[in-house]
């Protein structure tokens, strides 16, 4: 998988964790009586995606700068 900037991964991770936890809370509440199981299941999927992006954030190797783009200094 290609390198993703750490800020972008953090934003995606927070977004999936937040929507997943909100989906689980709403799905388990008596407000969503008819569709509660589906909303809870989608919340669990979002928590899983958040965990995947957390794994990417932790294990991703820092990208080295491209040496070909560096200007050569002449003395």
Give the C-alpha separation, 73 to 75, whole Å.
7
User: If you average pLDDT over every residue of the chain, what do you get?
Assistant: 87
- pLDDT tens readout for residues 29-45: 888 778 888 999 999 99
Q: Indicate if the pLDDT at residue 55 is higher than 90.
A: yes
**Would you tell me the crossing angle of helices 6-28 and 36-59 to the nearest 10 degrees?**
160
């Amino acid at each position: 998988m290609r390198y993703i900037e750490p800020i972008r991964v953090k934003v995606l991770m927070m977004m999936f964790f937040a929507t997943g936890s909100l989906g689980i809370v709403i799905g388990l509440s008596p407000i969503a009586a008819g569709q509660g199981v589906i909303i809870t299941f989608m919340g669990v999927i979002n928590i899983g995606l958040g965990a995947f992006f957390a794994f990417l954030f932790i294990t991703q190797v820092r990208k080295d700068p491209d040496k070909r783009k560096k200007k050569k200094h002449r003395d």
